[in-house]
Amino acid sequence: MERTYHPCHFCGGQVVEQRVTMDYRWGDELLAVIRNVPAGVCQTCGEQYLKSEVVRELERAAHAHEAPSEVLQVPVRELKVA
Ligand SMILES: [Zn+2]
């Protein structure tokens, strides 16, 4: 199924579907990193747009019970800017 996207809400740029990697968060908590997400990406400013069916699938994937394809361990650092 081909998804079409409106021009970018912010800059009017052309929005083209690409496969991206997204952080799935609940508040500050990083729940999952989801790869291969079809998103409309503005070719000018980089803003990303998701179709509602993709958001539903993202939520399903983030809470899935099957073993993840990979588990990442990432450093968490504090920014020391006043
Ligand atoms: Zn844009």
Q: Is 36 left (phi over 0), alpha (psi -120 to 50) or beta?
A: left
On whether the CB atoms of residues 11 and 44 are closer than 8 A, the answer is yes
Q: Which residues of the chain have pLDDT under 70?
A: 1
End-to-end CA distance of the chain: 49
CA of residue 26 to ligand 1 center, whole Å: 26
pLDDT at 2: 78
SS3 26: strand
pLDDT at 17: 97
CA of residue 64 to ligand 1 center, whole Å: 32
CB atoms within 5 A of ion ligand 1 belong to 8, 10-11, 13, 42, 44-45, 47
The token pair that represents 16 in the structure block: 């083209």
CA of residue 54 to ligand 1 center, whole Å: 20
Distance of CA 19 to the CA centre of its chain: 9
Percent of the chain that is helix, strand, coil (3-state, to 5) = 15, 35, 50
The tally of domains found in the chain comes to 1
Q: Indicate which CATH number applies to the domain containing 67.
A: 3.10.20.860
CA of residue 34 to ligand 1 center, whole Å: 23
67: domain range?
1-82
